[in-house]
Structure 1
Amino acid sequence: MGLSKNPSGIFSLVYSVRSLGTLGFVLVAAVSQLGCSFNDLKPMSHLIPAEDLTVPLDSQVKLSAANWPTADWWRAFGDPQLNALVNKALTNSPSMKAAAAKIRQAQAVEGIQAATLLPKVDGTLSSTRERFSANGTTPPPVAGTWQWLNQGSINLSYEIDFWGKNEAALQAAVGRTHASEVEAQARSLALATAVVSTYINLKLNNDELDLENAALNNHLKVLDLTNKRFASQLDSQVNVKQVEASIPASRSRIAELRENQELIKTKLATLTGEGASAGLNITSPKLKTPGTFGLPSQLTAELIGRRPDVVAQRWRVEATGNDIREAKSRFYPNVSLTSFVGLQSLGFDVFANGSSRVLGVAPALSLPIFEGGRLRSNLALQNANYDEAVETYNQTILDAIKDISDQLTSLKWFSERYSQQRLGVETATEAASLAEQRYSEGLASYIDVLYAQDQEISQQRALAQLKARGLLLHAELSRALGGGYSPFATSETNTQ
């Protein structure tokens, strides 16, 4: 009965329902059309499957599940001074502090994106002295007078994330935070390797300096013996002068090695984040050769998660995949809700009265209709960024496989090179001893002695360089295997 008395009300209700239905139909149709407007834009690159990654292994390589490097892999060299230098570098180096700052930057961006998923509430309070127009919309007695217009409100706004735009942007930020964290691990590994490599070079330089000092002593002994032979009229003064000429060359080489020693110590001090003067406190290295290095039995299967540079780049791929999701969601309508509640009055006497309250709710919907191709270009850009990230990842993993293969190749031939070089040193030492004996007996010239001594020093120098090469190979293989980085799970990239 009540409804029949108000047919206009029934018409309004029916019209409203029909209008909402029509609006919903138009909205669905528009969303469907928008969805079709970017289906032709897709990424073109694909990640290299893990099963396609192989490292050629020699039959003599030992495999064990426990052969991944430890996080403090440099301790295998048994030198407390090296341990202190690496720890100091990881703590004090500006590059590590810069990496920490990058992590904080990424975390801040992540926090900003996370805030978009939550309602925003703010408050306003204003008091305005205003003259109202006598000919405007304000009625008397206020019209034509000065009044205080006071207003205070609490405002709430919330974007309803129907299409996952803000969630995708947050996940992209999370991926970049993870990438920054892992990149810090990669930088830490690179810094530790640089300290170890420089320290090994210092040991090599010191070994060569000892050999050159020994060569100088040999030349001085030959000079003394030649002077005695000259005094006994068994040698000419020409021979004495020729022997003397070899001594400045040896001393020049010693000066060069001492210069290099100071430069290496300065580099070590810089790597540890200290001034050059700190290098003066570095003493001669006392490195030992680590034990036989095996390889992890699950090398190819786990390498992707053990190399921080690879893991960091995978997170970059993850982040750009979410950027694509965010770009796609921009094609759909944006739905938001705003509301406010507060007080408003002319003058101060009734500002706090309940009759001065104001409130409102304003749902809003915005739909992209014509934007000159901006959304398509943005999606194309994100697809291209994804392709770049994927190909960078693919190149990183290929470089990692090559890196390990190179270290294994060098290690495979190192033992044979070392054994042959030791044999060369033994032979050269025997030859030098025989030459000195023959010279003292007058059966050989000083040239024979100098040549034999130089050959001995040359062979010993080559052996010292090969020993340093062996130490570097252990360091480089530890780095190539990830330097003890602990893997963590990454989610699959969703670009659909």
Structure 2
Amino acid sequence: MTRIAFSKLSALTVIAFSLTMAGCADQGGIRPQAQVRDVAVLDAGQAIRQAAGEAGWPQRAWWEAYGDAQLNQLVTRAVAGNPSMAVAAARVRQARSMAQSTHAGELPSAQLDVSMGRKDWSDNVYYGAAFRDKLTWNNTATLGLSYNVDLWDRNRNATLRAEDEMHALAADARAAQLDLEGNVVRTYVQLALQYGLLDNTEALLKEEQKILDLAHRRFKGGLGTQLEITQAESPLPETRRQIEALHENIALIRNQLAALLGAGPGAADGITRPTMQLQTAIGLPSALPADLVGRRPDISAARWRVEAAAKGISVAKAAFYPNINLLAGIGPAAAGGGLFSFLSGPNLQTTYGPAISLPVFEGGRLRGQLGAASAGYDIEVEHYNALLSQALKGISDQVVTLQSVVRQQVQAQESVQAAQKNVDIATRAYQRGLTDYLNVLQAQTQWLRQQQIVQQLQAQRLASYAALQTALGGGMQDGSSAPAEVAAQ
């Protein structure tokens, strides 16, 4: 880098020389290769097209559609108490401070330097003869002013890049909150499923106990055998074991909910059985996928990072051109005399004038920086494009799953009714001695399996609805909203 003082060359000569040298800077034809994909050109697919227009975008508190007051409280407590929310807010505050620091490069700066020293002069007659054998003060005070003339918008683009990164981190904070809300709901759905399976298994235990009591009565009446009693007793321990395992699952899921709240396991003691009911129809907003970019916080974050990477390219390009600074300084300076004698008027000195720095030979460093910035832009663009495809896939998957689960629930309920009828018939036949216990056991096993399928389908429907709402953005704020609001929340 060559630094040329305007005190030696005229301003026009220096500027002309600088621009000539800058024109020789070779950017090597380096430019980005990726292109931002327009979401409107993506084929949403038949499932999304069929469901579009049947519903609006998710409400902010979309989990209230389950009609469970306890769930509403858990989500609110998780957002307020989970450490990940505090970390996300701190990152936004940190990015805001970094943006403020970067913005300072666009503004004039002033710095005061004061140096005060006591000097014992040398006895050498050729050095400091006037102050031989004396102790004097050597003091200076300078107020320096500087301003970078940002002709190529390097400082401005650096500030904009920092602000874009701040917006991206704010969108990341919203994405983290949406992910936390979805995790709480899905975990709560699993808790509801375990309670449903517990009901089924306890009902099976009662039926098995009835069969055992019937076997004892048949044996006492001379109609049964000890083998029938043994056969009726054999499934009871396994059923009790399954009940104990379900109680364990319930306790573990409660602990998981407590962890999502950011609290200790004791917070799970007050969590009672869920009462979730979902009557909401399956549907998608008619503006999908056009408005998806502004609704999904993770896509908004990716979009902001594309903008930040574009500003990074501008910063890297500006490094090829001259950097001009306006400098000025004023302050007293004196050697000898008393402690404050240097503050007198005759000791005042001033300096001022522009200065320029220009890259002449840097071994390819600037081209390397520009190439890295361009490649970074391509990475962010392709990441954004991939998110668009994955977002539409996730929405389509959940729509397909919800529609299929609704149809499966109807069929599963019919299977439960048929299995219950089979149990009743087998039990009456066994009571009358027309069949053996194995037929009863087989009918009960089939009934339990169908009951479990019903419970699992219900849980799958509840969880898929939560996944669909989060895939649509969960009612979060648009990605262009002020990041300060997220940090405050």
**Normalized against structure 1, the TM-score is what?**
0.91
Cα distance in 1 between the residues matched to 2:9 and 2:176: 63
Offset, 1:442: 1.7
Alignment match, 2:418: 427
Q: Could you tell me whether the CA contact under 8 Å between 1:110 and 1:170 is conserved in 2?
A: yes
Cα distance in 2 between the residues matched to 1:419 and 1:23: 84
Matched AA of 1:75: E
Q: Could you tell me whether the CA contact under 8 Å between 2:297 and 2:479 is conserved in 1?
A: no
Alignment match, 1:278: 267
Alignment match, 1:31: 22
Alignment match, 1:167: 156
1:102 aligns with 2:91: yes
Offset, 1:401: 0.9
Alignment match, 1:127: 116
Cα distance in 2 between the residues matched to 1:423 and 1:69: 33
Judged with a 3 Å threshold, the aligned counterparts in structure 2 of structure 1 residues 336 and 135 are, in CA distance, closer, same or farther, namely farther
Matched AA of 2:259: T
Offset, 1:122: 1.8
1:187-226: per-residue Cα shift (whole Å, max 9, x none)?
1111100000000000000100111011111111100100
Cα distance in 2 between the residues matched to 1:410 and 1:68: 19
1:385 aligns with 2:385: no
Alignment match, 2:290: 301
1:279-320: per-residue Cα shift (whole Å, max 9, x none)?
121100000113102211110111111111111011111111
Q: Say which SS state the counterpart of residue 69 (structure 1) adopts.
A: coil
Q: Say which SS state the counterpart of residue 300 (structure 1) adopts.
A: coil
1:221-270: per-residue Cα shift (whole Å, max 9, x none)?
10010011111121111111111111001011111111111111110100
Within-5 A mapping of 1:171-320: 171-320=160-309
Judged with a 3 Å threshold, the aligned counterparts in structure 2 of structure 1 residues 357 and 178 are, in CA distance, closer, same or farther, namely same
1:411 aligns with 2:402: yes
Judged with a 3 Å threshold, the aligned counterparts in structure 2 of structure 1 residues 138 and 327 are, in CA distance, closer, same or farther, namely farther
The one of the two structures with greater contact order (alpha-carbon pairs below 8 A, sep at least 6) is: 2
Matched AA of 2:392: I
Offset, 1:143: 6.0
1:410-460: per-residue Cα shift (whole Å, max 9, x none)?
122222111111111111111111111122122222211121122111111
Offset, 1:71: 1.2
Alignment match, 1:368: 359
Work out the number of aligned pairs and report it.
473
Cα distance in 2 between the residues matched to 1:142 and 1:301: 83
Q: Say which SS state the counterpart of residue 266 (structure 1) adopts.
A: helix
Cα distance in 1 between the residues matched to 2:167 and 2:285: 26
1:486 aligns with 2:477: yes
Cα distance in 2 between the residues matched to 1:363 and 1:476: 61
Match of 2:101 among 112, 122, 130: 112
Matched AA of 1:237: Q
Q: Name the % identity.
A: 36
Cα distance in 2 between the residues matched to 1:329 and 1:65: 51
Match of 1:473 among 464, 473, 476: 464
Identify the range of structure 1 (55-64 vs 423-432) with the bigger mean alpha-carbon deviation. Answer: 55-64
Cα distance in 2 between the residues matched to 1:44 and 1:231: 88
Judged with a 3 Å threshold, the aligned counterparts in structure 2 of structure 1 residues 137 and 274 are, in CA distance, closer, same or farther, namely farther
Q: Say which SS state the counterpart of residue 138 (structure 2) adopts.
A: strand
Alignment match, 1:10: none
Cα distance in 2 between the residues matched to 1:362 and 1:96: 50
1:394 aligns with 2:385: yes
Alignment match, 1:447: 438
Q: Say which SS state the counterpart of residue 118 (structure 2) adopts.
A: strand
Q: Could you tell me whether the CA contact under 8 Å between 1:222 and 1:243 is conserved in 2?
A: yes
Judged with a 3 Å threshold, the aligned counterparts in structure 2 of structure 1 residues 20 and 206 are, in CA distance, closer, same or farther, namely closer
1:330-380: per-residue Cα shift (whole Å, max 9, x none)?
111111122211222332353332222122114211111111111111111
Cα distance in 2 between the residues matched to 1:412 and 1:65: 13
Q: Could you tell me whether the CA contact under 8 Å between 2:157 and 2:315 is conserved in 1?
A: yes
Matched AA of 1:358: Q
Judged with a 3 Å threshold, the aligned counterparts in structure 2 of structure 1 residues 103 and 17 are, in CA distance, closer, same or farther, namely closer
Cα distance in 1 between the residues matched to 2:130 and 2:8: 43
Gaps of 5+ in 1: 1-15, 491-496
Q: Say which SS state the counterpart of residue 121 (structure 1) adopts.
A: strand
Identify the range of structure 1 (136-145 vs 168-177) with the bigger mean alpha-carbon deviation. Answer: 136-145
Alignment match, 1:325: 314
Judged with a 3 Å threshold, the aligned counterparts in structure 2 of structure 1 residues 420 and 434 are, in CA distance, closer, same or farther, namely same
Alignment match, 2:4: none
Judged with a 3 Å threshold, the aligned counterparts in structure 2 of structure 1 residues 18 and 236 are, in CA distance, closer, same or farther, namely closer
Within-5 A mapping of 1:74-89: 74-89=63-78
Identify the range of structure 1 (100-109 vs 267-276) with the bigger mean alpha-carbon deviation. Answer: 100-109
Matched AA of 1:444: T
Identify the range of structure 1 (229-238 vs 338-347) with the bigger mean alpha-carbon deviation. Answer: 338-347
Judged with a 3 Å threshold, the aligned counterparts in structure 2 of structure 1 residues 91 and 326 are, in CA distance, closer, same or farther, namely same
1:80-139: per-residue Cα shift (whole Å, max 9, x none)?
110111111111101111111111121111111011111111212221112345769977
1:33-65: per-residue Cα shift (whole Å, max 9, x none)?
22xx11511111111122212312449945438
Cα distance in 1 between the residues matched to 2:241 and 2:374: 61
Matched AA of 1:268: L
Q: Say which SS state the counterpart of residue 297 (structure 1) adopts.
A: coil
Q: Could you tell me whether the CA contact under 8 Å between 1:55 and 1:300 is conserved in 2?
A: yes
Cα distance in 1 between the residues matched to 2:279 and 2:328: 69
Matched AA of 1:264: I
Gaps of 5+ in 2: 1-6, 482-489
Q: Say which SS state the counterpart of residue 43 (structure 2) adopts.
A: coil
1:438 aligns with 2:429: yes
Q: Say which SS state the counterpart of residue 234 (structure 2) adopts.
A: helix
Q: Could you tell me whether the CA contact under 8 Å between 1:55 and 1:404 is conserved in 2?
A: no
Cα distance in 2 between the residues matched to 1:17 and 1:142: 35
Q: Could you tell me whether the CA contact under 8 Å between 2:326 and 2:354 is conserved in 1?
A: yes
Alignment match, 1:6: none
The two structures, once aligned, show a CA RMSD in angstroms of 2.1
Cα distance in 2 between the residues matched to 1:59 and 1:21: 64
Matched AA of 1:484: G
